[in-house]
Amino acid sequence: SPFSPQAGLLEKVFRYMDLHQDEFVQTLKEWVAIESDSIQPVPHLRQELLRMMAVAAEELRRLGASVDLEDLGSQQLPDGQTLPIPPVILGELGNDPGKPTVCVYGHLDVQPATQADGWLTDPYTLTEVDGKLYGRGATDNKGPVLAWINAMSTFRALEEDLPVNIKFIIEGMEEAGSVALEELVRKEKDRFFSSVDYIVISDNLWVSQRRPALIYGTRGNCYFTVEVTCRDQDFHSGTFGGILQEPMADLVALLGSLTDSAGHILIPGIYDHVAPLTEEEKELYGAIDLDLEEYRNSSRVKKFLFDTKEEILMHLWRYPSLSIHGIEGAFDEPGTKTVIPGRVLGKFSIRLVPHMNMSVVEKQVQQYLQYIFSQRNSSNQMAVSMVLGLHPWIADIKDHQYLAAKRAIKTVFGTEPDMIRDGSTIPIAKIFQDIIQKSVLMLPLGAVDDGEHSQNEKINRWNYIEGSKLFAAFFLEVAQLHE
């Protein structure tokens, strides 16, 4: 509030950030210029990723933090290749026992991008158009990581005492599934993390253009493969067509049995453990700033499965969903090849919500697909496996740091935040919650249209700079509440 003793300090911090915003944008430009793609398993990109981690470590050291680069060894790829896993940055600034310790998580790897994908500007040259800073990683997640660093460096530049001890855990393999991160968190539980009071993640978006949000839940994900094999080689459909039970026909029937045309999952029991909807929760959805028509139009979708904002949000956040992703071994090129694939591998995943249980879901999927397959009397082999299991996460919004974040938002943006969830998965949130057993907060700063993972990803200059202010204000609020 404007009458608190911190108001003068915050004024100074905000003024400094406004005056130095071009420097903050310049650093983001330098970081975006590093093609730190963790997805394509190419040695030169892996080198870029290593360079990105080194540049960030150096920046943190320059600001007075002590930094360890934790070696995570190497990654063995299915084709036999090995690539180094980029080290995880464990950094810390301050260890005053009188202050709370806030641990910030972020990642500096990015999704692949080439101009040929349909970018209007070079994805690795941060380009400003109408206050929008376009570039791969601008919002996911280099901009937010830098906003934390901007907050920290502003206190330093003003020779003001940081109100909290800060720890950083910054990884370079998030987009590839946070390879080896859980082990590191377990290993560091009683060392690096022992003094941590609060964990903050800024790796999602608001649901609005202008209204900030706090995120208190993310869905999990169970990823399945279902393989149907006749033999390890393709067939000619002229010489075998008509006398075979085709693996692709089995697979398409299996995949087609998973949901109905209204998106309802047909696997028996799958909705049994979904947390019941209370009246209190129901009311939360109405208050959220989402213009459904605008969202639908900007997504270029003719019609969603649901017509009201409330239903849409509930089906994104608090109900499971099943998506079919692809088929390995299918003929998917242009042209009219007359092949019968001999072996095909379907991929689908189920987004999990509280209080679904991963091993129960796995059994339900196994049993259902066995049943559907048995109905076909097929002589082919079917094998179902769950290749990835990521837990859903939900926060207690009565935690101190949610209150601190609300106050900081009020100070910087003059409004209450949207209290939202995210339908996608940040696996590390639940891992932090379980292993370190401290409160996890998701404090996003990007706008709904930032286009994470998409062409023309951007962060608004306004979000980047006001977000840096938000993080500085958050430090002060956390310190005050912690006393």
Enzyme catalytic residues: 109, 174
Q: Which of 227, 255, 224, 225 is nearest to 341 (CA)?
A: 227
Beta carbon nearer to Zn ion, 180 or 253: 180
Beta carbon nearer to ligand 8V3, 193 or 224: 224
DSSP codes of every residue in 105-169: EEE--B----GGGT-SS-TTS-EEETTEEE-TTIIIIIHHHHHHHHHHHHHHHTTPPPSSEEEEE
Q: Which of 482, 464, 476, 477 is nearest to 158 (CA)?
A: 476
**Residues 53/87, Cβ–Cβ less than 8 Å:** yes
Selected from 41, 84, 112, 177, the binder of ligand 8V3 by CB under 6 A is: 177
Q: Verify binding: residue 425, ligand 8V3, rule CB under 6 A.
A: yes
Tell me phi and psi for residue 166, to 5 degrees.
-115, 135
Tokens in use for 455? Answer: 């062409």
Binding part of the chain for ligand 8V3, among 185-193, 249-257, 266-274, 418-426 by CB under 6 A, reads 418-426
Tokens in use for 33? Answer: 């210029």
Residue number, nearest CB to ligand 8V3: 424
**Residues 190/123, Cβ–Cβ less than 8 Å:** no
Give the dihedral sign, CA 201/204/205/207: negative
DSSP codes of every residue in 189-253: TTTTTTT--EEEE--SB-SSSS--EEEEEE-EEEEEEEEEES-SS-EEHHHHTTTS--HHHHHHH
Binding part of the chain for ligand 8V3, among 36-44, 276-284, 295-303, 424-432 by CB under 6 A, reads 424-432
424 binds, among Zn ion, ligand 8V3, none (CB under 5 to 8 A by kind): ligand 8V3
Binding part of the chain for ligand 8V3, among 57-65, 228-236, 362-370, 421-429 by CB under 6 A, reads 421-429
Binding part of the chain for ligand 8V3, among 103-111, 316-324, 392-400, 423-431 by CB under 6 A, reads 423-431
3-class DSSP state of 1? coil
141 binds, among Zn ion, ligand 8V3, none (CB under 5 to 8 A by kind): Zn ion
3-class DSSP state of 326? strand
**Closest separation in Å from C-beta 323 to ligand 8V3:** 10
Going residue by residue from 380 to 399, which x/- string records binding to ligand 8V3, judged by CB under 6 A? --------x-x---------
Q: Verify binding: residue 441, ligand 8V3, rule CB under 6 A.
A: no
Tokens in use for 124? Answer: 């690795």
401 binds, among Zn ion, ligand 8V3, none (CB under 5 to 8 A by kind): none
**Residues 224/429, Cβ–Cβ less than 8 Å:** no
Selected from 38, 75, 139, 141, the binder of Zn ion by CB under 5 A is: 141
Q: Verify binding: residue 323, ligand 8V3, rule CB under 6 A.
A: no
Residues found in the chain: 483
Q: Verify binding: residue 37, ligand 8V3, rule CB under 6 A.
A: no
Going residue by residue from 191 to 210, which x/- string records binding to Zn ion, judged by CB under 5 A? ------------x-------
**Closest separation in Å from C-beta 178 to Zn ion:** 10
**Interface with ligand 8V3 by CB under 6 A: which residues?**
177, 203-204, 221, 223, 388, 390, 424-426
**Interface with Zn ion by CB under 5 A: which residues?**
140-141, 203
